[in-house]
Amino acid sequence: MLTKIIATLGPATSEVGIIVRLIEEGARVFRLNFSHGSFDSFGKMLGSVREASRTVGIHVGVMGDLCGPKIRIGEVIPGGVTLVVGDTLVIQSKPHIGGQPAATSPAGASTFSITAPQVLSDIAPGDRLLIDDGNVRSLVIEKYGEGDSLRLHCQITSGGLVTRAKGVNLPDSKLTVPSLTEYDKECVRWAVKHELDLLALSFVRKAADVVELKEMLKALAPPGEPTIPIVAKIEKPQAVADLENILKVSEGVMVARGDLGVEMDLTEVPIIQKRIISFAHEHGRPVIVATQMLQSMIENSQPTRAEVSDVANAIYDGAGKVMLSGETAVGKYPVATVQMMARIAKSTQDHLIANPDTYGLAWSRPAKWRTTGRRSAALSYGVRQIVRDYAAKFVVLWSQRGGGARYISLTRVNVPILACSSEEAALRRMSFLFGVHPIYMAQPASIEAFGTSIDKLILEKNWATIGDPYVLIAGEPIGTAGVTNIVALRHLGGEKAG
């Protein structure tokens, strides 16, 4: 399967046996959500993934998802507080138990505190203040005081129940709070120490947020070693506005439709999703589409027809990765969910492959690569054309650190890419790439020895039959990172093409 499935780990998927099943059904990247759990629990889940990977003999990656400065409602009286349209809502800097009287609030108002009171200074009258994924909506009418006495008076425009720790969104406010919190920095240090393969950065508003994390990772990495790639989560209006600059400094982006659907008009989310995928592909960046893809399978063994269409349409749009969240973290049917996601992806891929000229974005070359002058970009485009003209069954390459595999993946060849390396970390990172199947192999002595070894492997796995054509890519001397200078047309069994 070419599309990659990301499964979120959680109470339903923390044991080795269940993770083995998820890998067998098609999961190739596992997400550790740092918003829920402890470092001890993260370590246990990471260990389970590594053990499951060894058990099935398939390399998989682990992505840590940083929380960012998530703003939440503070303490609230038991049972919560129900707000109705027209009510006055007061948010104050000082800690306060929501639902209890407050001397500084007007009669009849409901007063709450939030977990990041410093953001109150960034909010102005006329801004929207949303609670619980927008289920409770209000408009800031007035702002009083300063420092510890700062408070906002809001009018409820859409009511509902407010309980402790519900999320707060401020779509109109230009927040100055940093993207990386102190807890996030602890998570980054833990990720580097435990050799995670990807990091997803939340609360991205501008390219500088990604650069800040890159600098931290660079400082933590051993000299000469690659840093953990960063996936920028696009979930705020400011990130959509600065998308091009964010793409330039990140290794991938995630269409995080949860907060995106709260921060922006819900009807715009499908349009924004298409725009992000198109723009990212143009710049040669992988895209994950996430949130509620098969949400109903948290409770049910079958998805809705709309959910199936949603997953398929993300792939038709050009997304190379689709992500499951609560469906696998806490759902009742995690294995069935991954199995269903894989079935949808394969069915969609088969249709795309059969109609390559109908779906231009899904199989097109990143437009920005035409002007880079990079050898790898030009080579990968040539390989894409060769695969189509030669009807190759595979692309096989030696990619010591994964760079060559990334370029070939992003040109969207419509056949499996068998990417070989002797570096375990590189193999895990390559598991994230569309179409790439990472394979461990001791470094061969020559290009010819590499071809012989890969022929033997393909035949042993019954992936093809003798005489099938494939494209082999490597560098001379083999194993040297950044050197790719040979493209050979071969037939399985050792015969070179004429």
Cβ 30 vs Cβ 46: under 8 Å: no
pLDDT-derived band of residue 129, with 50, 70 and 90 as boundaries?
very high
Same-domain status, 489 and 398? yes
Mean pLDDT of all residues in 223-241: 93
Question: What pLDDT sits at residue 101?
Answer: 92
As a whole number of angstroms, the distance between CA 167 and CA 72 comes to 4
Same-domain status, 8 and 138? no
Among 149, 169, 189, residue at a domain's last position: 169
CATH number at 127 reads 2.40.33.10
pTM, 2 dp = 0.91
CATH number at 428 reads 3.40.1380.20
Question: What pLDDT sits at residue 166?
Answer: 94
Among 349, 374, 391, residue at a domain's last position: 349
Question: What pLDDT sits at residue 379?
Answer: 79
Question: What pLDDT sits at residue 91?
Answer: 97
Same-domain status, 291 and 384? no
Same-domain status, 250 and 147? no
Q: Determine, yes or no, domain membership for 354.
A: no
Question: What pLDDT sits at residue 407?
Answer: 87
Same-domain status, 259 and 330? yes
pLDDT-derived band of residue 497, with 50, 70 and 90 as boundaries?
very low
255-259, 339-343, 354-358, 452-456: least confident range? 354-358
Q: Determine, yes or no, domain membership for 356.
A: no
Give the residues across from 155 on adjacent strands. 88, 139
Name residues whose C-beta falls within 8 Å of residue 79's C-beta, 6 or more positions apart in sequence: 163
Can you give the length of the chain in residues? 498
The total number of structural domains in the chain stands at 3
Cβ 309 vs Cβ 348: under 8 Å: no
Domain of residue 280 covers 4-68+179-349
The alpha helices in 36-126, defined as continuous H runs, are 39-56
Q: Determine, yes or no, domain membership for 358.
A: no
Same-domain status, 192 and 312? yes
User: What SS3 state is found at 177?
Assistant: coil
pLDDT tens profile 141-182: 999 998 889 999 999 999 999 999 999 999 999 999 999 999
Among 169, 199, 218, residue at a domain's last position: 169
Average pLDDT, the chain: 92
Q: How far is CA 152 from the centre of its chain?
A: 35
Mean pLDDT of all residues in 360-388: 70
% pLDDT > 70, the chain? 93
Question: What pLDDT sits at residue 372?
Answer: 57
As a whole number of angstroms, the distance between CA 177 and CA 188 comes to 18
pLDDT-derived band of residue 481, with 50, 70 and 90 as boundaries?
low
CA distances, 198 to each of 56, 214, 226, 468 (Å): 21, 12, 12, 35
User: Residue 104 half-sphere exposure, CB side, CA atoms within 13 Å?
Assistant: 19
pLDDT tens profile 183-192: 999 999 999 9
Cβ 116 vs Cβ 69: under 8 Å: yes
Same-domain status, 337 and 371? no
Virtual CA dihedral for 438, 440, 445, 449, nearest 10 degrees?
Answer: -70
As a whole number of angstroms, the distance between CA 38 and CA 490 comes to 50
Say whether the peptide bond before residue 416 is cis (omega within 30 degrees of 0).
Answer: no
| Secondary element (H or E) of residue 17 | helix 16-25
pLDDT tens profile 304-359: 999 999 999 999 999 999 999 999 999 999 999 999 999 999 999 999 888 877 66
Q: Determine, yes or no, domain membership for 359.
A: no
As a whole number of angstroms, the distance between CA 401 and CA 395 comes to 17
> Does residue 371 register a pLDDT over 60?
no
Same-domain status, 191 and 294? yes
User: What SS3 state is found at 294?
Assistant: coil
Same-domain status, 143 and 192? no
Question: What pLDDT sits at residue 55?
Answer: 97
Other C-beta atoms lying within 10 Å of the C-beta of residue 284:
21
Mean pLDDT of all residues in 393-408: 90
Cβ 286 vs Cβ 252: under 8 Å: yes
Q: Determine, yes or no, domain membership for 399.
A: yes
> Does residue 193 register a pLDDT over 80?
yes
Question: What pLDDT sits at residue 310?
Answer: 97
Same-domain status, 22 and 86? no
